[in-house]
Amino acid sequence: MTLALPRPVARRFTLRRPRPGLTAAGLVLLVTLAAAAWPSLFAGDPLAADPLRVLEAPSAAHWFGTDQLGRDVFDRVVHGARHSLSIGVAATVIAVGAGILLGLVAGLVHRVADEALSRGFDALAAFPLVLLALLFIAIAGTGTTSLIVAIGIATTPHHARVVRAQTLVVRRAPYVTHAVAFGASRPRLVLRHVLPNVLGPIPVLAMIGLGEAVLIAAGLSFLGLGPQPPSPEWGAMLSEGRGYLHIAWWASLLPGAAVTATVISLTVVGRHIQNRFEGRPA
pLDDT in tens, the chain (282 residues): 444 444 444 444 345 565 888 899 999 999 999 999 999 999 999 999 999 999 999 999 899 999 999 999 999 999 999 999 999 999 999 999 999 999 988 888 878 888 888 888 888 888 888 888 998 998 888 889 999 999 999 999 989 998 988 888 887 777 777 776 777 777 777 777 788 888 888 888 898 899 999 999 999 999 989 888 888 999 999 999 988 989 999 999 999 999 999 999 999 998 888 877 766 665
The pTM of this model reads: 0.85
Q: Is the dihedral of CA 259, 262, 266, 269 positive or negative?
A: positive
d(CA 17, CA 225) in angstroms, rounded, equals 44
Model pLDDT, residue 16: 56
DSSP states along 155-190:
HHHHHHHHHHHHHHHHTTSHHHHHHHHTT--HHHII
CA distance 188 to 195: 10
Which pLDDT score, from 0 to 100, does residue 14 have?
46
Instruction: Identify whether the C-beta of residue 253 lies closer than 8 Å to the C-beta of residue 77.
Output: no
DSSP SS3 for 66: strand
Beta bridge partners of 66: 72
- For 75-90, b/e burial (b = at least 16 CB within 10 A) is bbbbbbbbbbbbbbbb
- The continuous run of DSSP H or E covering 84 comes out as helix 73-108
Q: What are phi and psi of 66, to 5 degrees?
A: -125, 160
DSSP string for 95-114: HHHHHHHHHHHHHHS-HHHH
Rounded Cα–Cα distance for residues 78 and 255 (Å): 9
Can you give the pLDDT at residue 18? 59
* Residue 189 DSSP one-character state: I
Choose among 5, 19, 10, 22: nearest CA to 270: 22
Residues in the chain: 282
| β-bridge mates for residue 132, sequence order | none
Q: What is the CA radius of gyration of the chain?
A: 23
